[in-house]
């Protein structure tokens, strides 16, 4: 079945450093979504990418979808303590509505 791998599992940075998490699928995705889960909270939608090679920005966050639609990345520039949490990618395949989530990258930021 469809698998979505996400690396790294953990990332610890100093405040102000950049951060990147990568997501890879075993199959071509029709779209990919990114979610953020704060400690003790629930996942919250950040963004969705649909087109091959698409790049979207939200302030300090940059999201990319690979040309083959099998991989994606989330890059945070100059991390802040408010960026702490676990970032998940989730993709769907073909005509399916089901989302398959990566295992997430837990980001901690040292002030």
Interface residues toward another protein, by CB under 8 A: 1, 6, 9, 30-31, 33, 35, 41-45, 48, 50, 88, 90, 92, 95-104
Q: How far is the CB of 78 from another protein (least distance, A)?
A: 27
Tokens of 68: 């083959």
Which tokens in the block code for residue 86? 């676990």
- Nearest residue to 8 via CA among 74, 100, 90: 74
Closest to another protein by CB, 30 or 80:
30
The closest alpha carbon to 47, from 85, 13, 90, belongs to 90
Least distance (Å) between residue 57 CB and another protein = 18
């Amino acid at each position: 079945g469809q698998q979505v791998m996400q690396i790294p599992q953990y990332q610890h940075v100093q405040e102000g450093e950049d951060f990147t998490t990568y997501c890879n699928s075993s199959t071509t995705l029709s779209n990919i979504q990114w979610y953020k889960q704060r400690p003790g909270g629930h996942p919250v939608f950040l963004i969705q990418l649909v087109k091959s090679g698409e790049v979207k920005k939200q302030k300090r966050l940059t999201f990319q979808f690979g040309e083959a639609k099998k991989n994606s990345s989330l890059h945070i520039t100059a991390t802040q303590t408010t960026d702490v949490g676990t970032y998940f990618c989730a993709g769907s395949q073909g005509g399916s509505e089901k989302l398959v989530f990566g295992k997430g990258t837990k980001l901690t930021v040292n002030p």
